[in-house]
Amino acid sequence: MKIGAFICTSCNIGDRLEVGDLEAAAKDQGAAVAVSKEFLCSKEGVAFIGETIKNEELDGVAICACSPRVNYDVFNFGNVRVERVSLREGVVWSRFPVPDEGEEEVDDSKEVAEGTTFKDELMSLAKDYVRMGVAKLMNSQAPVPYQPEEEISKTVLVIGGGVAGMTAALEVAKAGHQAIIVEKENELGGFVAKMKAQIKAEAPFDGLSEPVTDRLISEVQNNENITVYTGSQVTSIKGAPGLFRVTIKKGGSEEEIKIGAIVVAAGWKPYDASKLEELGYGKFADVVTNVEFEEMCAKGELKRRSDGAPVKSVLFVQCAGQRDENHLAYCSSVCCMVSLKQAKYIRETDPEAKAFIIYKDMRTAGIYENFYKAMQDDPGIFLTKGEIKEISEEEGKLLVKVDQTLLGEELEIPVDMVVLATGMVPATADDPIIPLEYRQGAGFPELELFYGFADSNYICFPYETRRTGIYAAGAVHQPMTVFQAMEDATGAALKALQCLKAIEMGHAVHPRTWDFAYPEWDLKMCTQCKRCTEECPFGALDETEDGTPMPNPTRCRRCGTCFGACPQRIINFKDYSIDMVTQMIKACEMPEPDYGLYRVLALVCENDALPALDMAAYKRLNIPVAIRVIPVRCLGAVNVSFIKDAMSSGYDGIILLGCKFGENYQCHFIKGSELANRRMENVAETLQQLALENERVKIEIVAIDEVERIPQILGDFVAMLQEFGESPFKGW
C-alpha cells in the first residue's frame, strides 16, 4: 500500500511536538508521503488531504491529529483507507511532567532520566503512535462486505400473538415488510384478551379502559402483509439472520419458511401459586391468584368458590412469592397496579364492598402514580404496609392476620376472598420456545441476572438477545404493562428491520454497525480445539462432527472473541489481524536498558475504556508517558500472542483495560473481559516461559464513567513496574 501521513499542527500539537521529527518517523515506517498542516479538520485541511491523495495516488492515509472519537464524519475519502492517530488527546492533552515535591509547575524541559527530558519522552510517544498508525495501514486490508450467495429473506417472524406480538407485526408491515405471527393458542390476543379492563394509558391516567386487543386483532387480520398461524408453534430454527430456516408445526403438518429476522413476543406465565401454601393457596378454596381473579371478573362471575356467595370483601396480598429468595427474587413491576385495578372492579360491582391491599412497598411507576392516588381517595379501599402473619378460616370467612403495619399494631381482617399478587415469569423460562439448532444449543443463554427473561445488554442494547437477528419484546423481555409491551414491541420491530438492512449492506448488525470486516479462518491449520465455537458469546459458529468450526457471518457481531481464543492464530479480520497488531507492537521503539525509561503496552477496549481514556484527556488528567495504547475490539479479542510478542520485544509491562464482568456485568460483547480474565492462566504460562513476573501483565475493569480512575490505575501500574525494574528483554 502507498501510505500518506498527515500531521496536524493545531490544538497544541505543534506547540509541544517537533512536527518534522514526526514526518521523518512516518517515512521511516514506510509512508510514501508525510506532510504537516494546521487544522486538518477544516474545509481547507480536508481539501488538502484529498488533493494530495489524488496527486500521489495514495491507498491509505494516517490522520495524525485528534482522537478518532471526534470529527469521525470529516475524514472520508471514498475507497482510500483512513487511520486516525490520536496526537491531541493521546499525547499533548494527557501527558505532562510530574512536579517534584516543592515544585509548583514544570515544563517539558524537565529531566526525567539521565540525559533525557520529558519532551524527549513525549516525542518518543508521539513518534511511536505515528509509526503504529502507518504500520496498521500497511499490515491490514480494506474490509469486503459479506454478501451471502443465497438471496436473503426480508420477512420477520413474530413468535407470540399477544399485544406485543401483534404490535411488532403491525410495525413491520407498516414498513413494507412481510410479517408472520405464530401463536400457540387458537386465537390471537394473549392474556390481555382475557382481561376485564386495563389501566388507561392517556391523561389523567386515573381510570380504566377496554382491552386494546380487539383493535389490534382487527388491524392484524386486515393487513395484507401479515400472515397468522394460530394453534401453531415453531419447532426448529436453523441458519442465520437473513437466512433462517424456520419450521412451523400446525396440527399434524409442518412447513419450513425462510425468515430474515425474528421477534420473540411469547409473553409470560404466572408464578406457580401451589408453592405458596403458607398463604393458603390450595388449602382454602377462596384464596386465588390475581390471574384467576381477573378471569372471574372478566366473566362476571365474582363469587366465592367455596359456596357461590357474592364477594363483599377482598384482601390483596402483594409480592406473593416475589422479592423473595425462596421464590421470585425480583419485583414484577405491574402487580401493585393490577391489585389497585382489581380493587376498583370490586367497588364498581358493589359500592358497599370493601378491598384491603397489604403491601411491602406500593410501586406504581411514573405517571401511574395518579391511578394510585385515585384509589387512595376511595373510602372503600384500605391500603397498608404490612406482613402476612397467618391466613386461617373461621365462621365461613378467611381471617388474615397482619403485623408490622403502618398503624403499629397487629390487624385481624375477616374477608370473603384473598387474592395473591403472584409474579410474572417469562414464557421462555424452562420452555424451548426458541428451538435453535445451534452448536451452543436451543433457547437463549441464561444469565443469573435476568432470572430467565430474554437476556440483553439492558443499558446499551435493550432489545438484542445473545442470538443475532433475534429480538425480545414484551413480558418475555421484562415485566411490563400492556402499553409498555406495545412500545417495547415497536422498538424490537425496528431492530429487526435494522438487522435486515445491515445484512443487505454486508456490515455487522450491532454494536459495530460500521464494520464490514468479518472473521476469516485458515482451516488448514485448525486443530479442532473448539475454543472458538465454545467461547463465542453469540453462538455464531456451528461445527462439523470432527469439531471444525462452521462460521455463520450474518450471526457474527465482529467482537473478535474467536480471534482472541484461537491458539493457532488462524482467525483474522482484514482490518484486525494477528500480524497487524504484532506490527503495531513492534513499531514502538524501545529505549536502551538501564536508563530508567519504561514502556508499557495498554490494550484498551474501544467500548468503555477507550472513551473513558479520551474523556480523561479532555479533562487534562495526567497519564504516564510510558503508556502506549492500542485499541482492541473487546478484551475477548486479545490473543495471548500479543502478550508474548510485546514482552519479548522489551515492554516492561502490559495492562488490559475493559468492561466490568461478574454477576452483574454489562460487557458490550457479553463476556469478553470475563474470558480475558480466564485467559490470564495462559498469560501466566507465557510469562513463566520468559522468566518474567506474573505481575507484569494485569487486567483492570472500568466503566465508561470512571474517568478519574484511569490515570490512577495507569500510574499505579507504572509505579509497580518501576519497583520490579526494567524488563530483561529490553535491548535485545
Q: Is the pLDDT of residue 657 over 80?
A: yes
Joined together, the cell numbers standing for residue 598 give 519504561
Query: Residue 46 carries which DSSP code?
Result: H
* pLDDT (0 to 100) of residue 732: 74
In the predicted model, what is the mean pLDDT of residues 73-92? 96
* More confidently predicted of 95 and 102: 95
pLDDT level of residue 450 (50, 70, 90 thresholds):
confident
Residues 95 and 230 in one domain: no
b/e per residue, 349-384, with b = 16+ CB within 10 A?
eeeebbbbbbbbebbbeeebebbbebbeeeebbbbb
* pLDDT (0 to 100) of residue 446: 72
- The string of pLDDT tens digits covering residues 343-375 is 999 999 999 999 999 999 999 988 889 999 999
Per DSSP (E only), the strands in 349-504 are: 354-359, 381-385, 387-394, 397-403, 411-415, 417-420, 424-426, 470-472
- Would residue 338 count as lying in a domain? yes
DSSP three-state, residue 541: strand
* pLDDT (0 to 100) of residue 510: 87
Q: What angle do CA 580, 542, 241 make, to 5 degrees?
A: 85
Q: Is the pLDDT of residue 55 over 70?
A: yes
* pLDDT (0 to 100) of residue 603: 97
Residues 248 and 378 in one domain: no
CA distance 208 to 221: 26
Residue pair 570/622 in contact by the 8 Å Cβ criterion: no
* pLDDT (0 to 100) of residue 448: 65
Q: Is the pLDDT of residue 663 over 70?
A: no
Residues 287 and 349 in one domain: yes
Residue pair 319/419 in contact by the 8 Å Cβ criterion: no
Q: What is the DSSP string of 93-124?
A: TT--PPPPTT-S---TT-EEETTEEHHHHHHH
pLDDT level of residue 317 (50, 70, 90 thresholds):
very high
* More confidently predicted of 671 and 716: 716
Per DSSP (E only), the strands in 140-210 are: 156-159, 179-183, 198-199, 208-209
CA distance 138 to 270: 59
The closest of 652, 636, 631 to 731, measured between CA atoms, is 652
Q: Tell me which of 454, 477, 505 is where a domain ends.
A: 505
Q: How many CA atoms lie within 13 A of 564 on its CB side?
A: 29
Query: Residue 328 carries which DSSP code?
Result: B
Residue 229 carries which side chain, given as an amino acid letter?
Y
Query: Residue 457 carries which DSSP code?
Result: B
Residue pair 711/621 in contact by the 8 Å Cβ criterion: yes
* pLDDT (0 to 100) of residue 535: 93
CA distance 376 to 551: 59
β-partners of residue 288 are: 419
- Would residue 720 count as lying in a domain? no
Residue-range definition of the domain harbouring residue 245: 156-267+427-505
Q: What is the CATH number of the domain that holds 86?
A: 3.40.50
- HEC profile for 306-317? CCCCECCEEEEE
- Would residue 478 count as lying in a domain? yes
Joined together, the cell numbers standing for residue 438 give 445451534
Q: Tell me which of 417, 446, 471 is where a domain ends.
A: 417
Residues 309 and 443 in one domain: no
Q: Which residues are CB-neighbours of 260 under 8 A, at least 6 positions away?
A: 152, 153, 154, 155, 156, 241, 242, 244, 469, 496, 499, 500, 503
Q: Is the pLDDT of residue 612 over 90?
A: yes
Q: Which residues are CB-neighbours of 287 under 8 A, at least 6 positions away?
A: 279, 280, 281, 391, 398, 417, 418, 420
Q: Which residues are CB-neighbours of 117 under 8 A, at least 6 positions away?
A: 108, 109, 110, 111
Residues 261 and 283 in one domain: no
Give percent of the chain with pLDDT exceeding 70.
98
CA distance 435 to 431: 9
Pairing of strands 3-8, 60-65: parallel
β-partners of residue 357 are: 316, 383
DSSP three-state, residue 204: coil
Q: Is the pLDDT of residue 432 over 80?
A: no
Q: What is the CATH number of the domain that holds 182?
A: 3.50.50.60
CA distance 361 to 91: 52
- Would residue 357 count as lying in a domain? yes
Residues 310 and 401 in one domain: yes
CA distance 702 to 713: 10
Q: Is the pLDDT of residue 182 over 80?
A: yes
pLDDT level of residue 449 (50, 70, 90 thresholds):
low
- Would residue 665 count as lying in a domain? no
Residues 286 and 391 in one domain: yes
Phi first, then psi: what are they for 170, rounded to 5°?
-65, -40
Phi first, then psi: what are they for 104, rounded to 5°?
-85, -45
- Would residue 319 count as lying in a domain? yes
Neighbours of 448 (CB within 10 A): 10
pLDDT level of residue 653 (50, 70, 90 thresholds):
very high
Q: Tell me which of 398, 417, 436 is where a domain ends.
A: 417
* pLDDT (0 to 100) of residue 458: 63
- The string of pLDDT tens digits covering residues 252-294 is 899 999 999 999 999 999 999 999 999 999 999 999 999 999 9
Residue pair 45/39 in contact by the 8 Å Cβ criterion: yes
* pLDDT (0 to 100) of residue 165: 98
The closest of 119, 524, 540 to 532, measured between CA atoms, is 540
In the predicted model, what is the mean pLDDT of residues 719-729? 95
For cell 502506549, what's the residue? 628
**What burial class does residue 325 get, using C-beta atoms within 10 Å of its C-beta: 0-12 exposed, 13-18 middle, 19+ buried?**
exposed
CA distance 108 to 196: 76
Residues 363 and 256 in one domain: no
pLDDT level of residue 324 (50, 70, 90 thresholds):
very high
Residues 2 and 136 in one domain: yes
- The string of pLDDT tens digits covering residues 509-567 is 988 889 999 999 999 999 999 999 999 999 999 999 999 999 999 999 999 999 999 99
Given CA atoms 134, 140, 144, 145 in this order, what sign does their dihedral have? negative
* pLDDT (0 to 100) of residue 141: 94
- Would residue 606 count as lying in a domain? no
**What burial class does residue 210 get, using C-beta atoms within 10 Å of its C-beta: 0-12 exposed, 13-18 middle, 19+ buried?**
exposed
* pLDDT (0 to 100) of residue 457: 66
Per DSSP (E only), the strands in 140-281 are: 156-159, 179-183, 198-199, 208-209, 226-230, 232-238, 244-250, 253-259, 261-264, 268-270
Residues 193 and 73 in one domain: no
pTM above 0.85, yes or no: yes
The closest of 390, 384, 386, 271 to 321, measured between CA atoms, is 271
Residues 285 and 403 in one domain: yes
DSSP three-state, residue 175: coil
Phi first, then psi: what are they for 119, rounded to 5°?
-65, -35
Q: Into how many domains does the chain fold? A: 3
Joined together, the cell numbers standing for residue 50 give 484529498
DSSP three-state, residue 667: strand
Neighbours of 524 (CB within 10 A): 6
Q: Is the pLDDT of residue 401 over 70?
A: yes
Residues 335 and 361 in one domain: yes
Tally: H helices and E strands in the chain: 18, 34
Joined together, the cell numbers standing for residue 435 give 428451538
CA distance 277 to 284: 9
The closest of 569, 565, 591 to 580, measured between CA atoms, is 569
The closest of 371, 370, 376, 363 to 479, measured between CA atoms, is 363
Omega cis (within 30) before 414: no
- Would residue 27 count as lying in a domain? yes
Mean pLDDT for all residues in the chain: 93
